[in-house]
Amino acid sequence: MRDVAIIGIGQTPVDEHWTTSLRHLALDAGLKALKDANLERVEAVYVGNMLSGTTTGQEHLGGLVVDFLGMAGTEAMKIEAACASGAAAVRVGMMAVASGMSDLVLAMGVEKMTDTVGQQTTAALAMAADAEYEVSQGVTFVTLNGLLMQRYMYEYGWERKDFANFVINAHANGKHNPNAMFQKEISQAAYERSPMISSPVGLFDASPICDGAAAVVLAPMEYAHTLSPAPVRIKASAVATSPLAVHSRKDPLALEAARISAQRAYEQAEIEPDDLDFFELHDAFTIMAALSLEATGFAERGQAVRMALDGEITLDGRIPVSTMGGLKSRGHPVGATGVYQIVESVLQLRGLAGETQLPNARLGMAQNIGGSGATIITHILEAMG
Amino acid sequence: MGVKVAHNWRLRGQRYRLEGEVCDHCGSTIFPPRDICPECHQPAKTEHTLSGRGEVYTYSTVQNAPEGFEQYVPYTVALVKLEEGPMITAQLTDVAPDDVEIGMPVEMVTRRLRVQGDEGTISYGYKFRPVLQRA
Ligand SMILES: [Zn+2]
């Protein structure tokens, strides 16, 4: 197996792109990544996406996107793992390069969520849950997170207002990210006032529905320096699974796939959590941010909310999270999110994260959660420039 | 996203009677049926109907429903820990959202779940209500 590096990145601003179609979002991010890598072609394209068939009537994204990139003839396919589709596409691309089957690969994520009306998009997202035994009961994705948050508050004695710092931190950082959907701060009072969607999850606990695309170019580490002045090494890549339905998990608050995939990633990278300079976590909901920090070893069970209250997740805290806004402020175009996390991590490791640049960032982790936690993908990235 | 009549028909044993399985190797009760025991990973195909009694493990009241459920808001969904062990996702009924508590004893009833599609297919299934006080 060969070491793999990221030699190019590209992203489209996350927004409600009424005037831009799915294919043009993918094209924009893909071309930016190729330009960043000084390449015109690659040997394979992997497109992470969750919802295109339902929200735009378009499947077969590999063939579509590679053609519009001007590379018809090149290997291409769509990769799906619900909201973890983006990181899954990067992982598949990494496997292609690591195995020696390809040298240059474009891995991207794209999602178009605003062509459908709200309830249809909500129903489409719920397809990541168990159709026969969860969704059939009127459950939405928000409801599954509501069930987890309610139990968490009951077991550990927190109130909803105690989760506010996850949101305040994400928006304080996202405010400076030109590609973020919401470039503005949110106050404790605004968080507390936000209306319930599925109790105790309120509007400001949840990431927004939006459109976006992001892409990375991968190459073998051994000659990455000849292609890029600042390659970033993929030091670890690991996927783990849990039962799809929340009710089938022995310990629903454990986020077991996050724990296992992080553990595998730490072993591959030969590091401890404390070695990381930042953590791009999957804060689709405040409860997911909390459960992620606990499952990855940054907090004891029930204590991630304490971490946030104590300021340990801010840019100058013990483990900065959502350094460019996270899913909450940058936005969560589901199948693209995992690639945005990796693109933002590369910006931090290249020293190009702007106002929210961390000093001396050398090692970062990105974790992308599919569904309510059934598929969780962890990448650890290292600066090599 | 309409689901066909055959789909509802196929699930009738689970929806109307909570038909699950019991593992002949370790004795675990399994719902929904999956033919492989999640505890000991051995084949488990012996049918077993659950009692329908349990308690609320957690709950959430839905204000913003997915397509097909808009007319029912607000409604409360719970994870119910069944007395035989498995957890089930189901709506609560015959109780105001503000009166729901974790640990509340509940029992299964059969109710209308939703009206689906242009043909107006009505699907029925389990919901759970607070255990009635017995005289
Ligand atoms: Zn068994």
- ipTM for the predicted complex: 0.95
For residue A284, pLDDT beyond 70:
yes
Q: What is the mean pLDDT of residues A127-152?
A: 96
> Are A169 and A282 within one domain?
yes
Domain count, chain A: 2
> Are A272 and A358 within one domain?
yes
Q: Which of B5, B37, B63 is the best residue to mutate to test the A interface, defined by the most A CB atoms within 10 Å of its own CB? A: B63
Question: Which residues of chain A neighbour B62 with C-beta distances below 8 Å?
Answer: 138-140, 142-143, 146, 198
Average pLDDT, chain A: 97
Residue-wise pLDDT tens digits, A78-111: 999 999 999 999 999 999 999 999 999 999 999 9
Residue A326 lies in a domain: yes
Q: What is the mean pLDDT of each run of 10 residues along chain B (135 residues)?
A: 71 94 97 96 96 98 90 96 98 97 98 81 92 72
Query: Between residues 102 and 131 of chain A, which touch chain B (CB distance below 8 Å)?
Result: 118-120, 122-124, 126-127, 130-131
- What are the respective helix, strand and coil percentages of chain B, to the nearest 5? 15, 45, 45
> Are A33 and A112 within one domain?
yes
Residue A135 lies in a domain: no
For residue A123, pLDDT beyond 60:
yes
Per DSSP, helices labelled H in chain B are: 5-10, 12-17
Residue A304 lies in a domain: yes
Residue A220 lies in a domain: yes
8-state DSSP, B4: -
> Are A114 and A218 within one domain?
yes
**Domain chopping of chain B, boundaries:** 5-130
Whether A253 has its CB under 8 Å from any CB of chain B: the answer is: no
> Are A179 and A216 within one domain?
no
> Are A265 and A150 within one domain?
yes
> Are A360 and A330 within one domain?
yes
Judge: A247–B62 Cβ closer than 8 Å, yes or no: no
Q: What is the mean pLDDT of residues A126-142?
A: 95
Task: Find the B100 Cα to ligand 1 centroid distance in Å.
Answer: 33
Q: SS3 of B53, please?
A: strand
pLDDT of residue B83: 97
Q: What is the mean pLDDT of residues A3-11?
A: 98
Domain at A320, CATH number: 3.40.47.10
Q: SS3 of A95, please?
A: helix
Residue A201 lies in a domain: no
Task: Find the A139 Cα to ligand 1 centroid distance in Å.
Answer: 29
Whether A247 has its CB under 8 Å from any CB of chain B: the answer is: yes
Task: Find the B38 Cα to ligand 1 centroid distance in Å.
Answer: 7
Residue A229 lies in a domain: no
> Are A63 and A164 within one domain?
no
For residue A13, pLDDT beyond 70:
yes
Per DSSP, helices labelled H in chain A are: 22-36, 52-56, 61-68, 85-98, 118-125, 141-156, 164-174, 188-193, 224-227, 256-269, 286-295, 304-309, 326-329, 334-350
> Are A283 and A246 within one domain?
yes
For residue A29, pLDDT beyond 90:
yes
Question: Has A379 been annotated as catalytic?
Answer: no
Q: Nearest CA of chain A to the CA of B10: how many Å?
A: 11
Task: Print the domain residue range for A215.
Answer: 4-118+209-224
Residue A130 lies in a domain: no
Residue A133 lies in a domain: no
Task: Find the B20 Cα to ligand 1 centroid distance in Å.
Answer: 13
> Are A84 and A183 within one domain?
no
> Are A89 and A177 within one domain?
no
Beta bridge partners of B48: B20
Residue-wise pLDDT tens digits, A158-188: 999 999 999 999 999 999 999 999 999 999 9
In angstroms, the CA A36 to CA B72 distance is 50
> Are A78 and A180 within one domain?
no
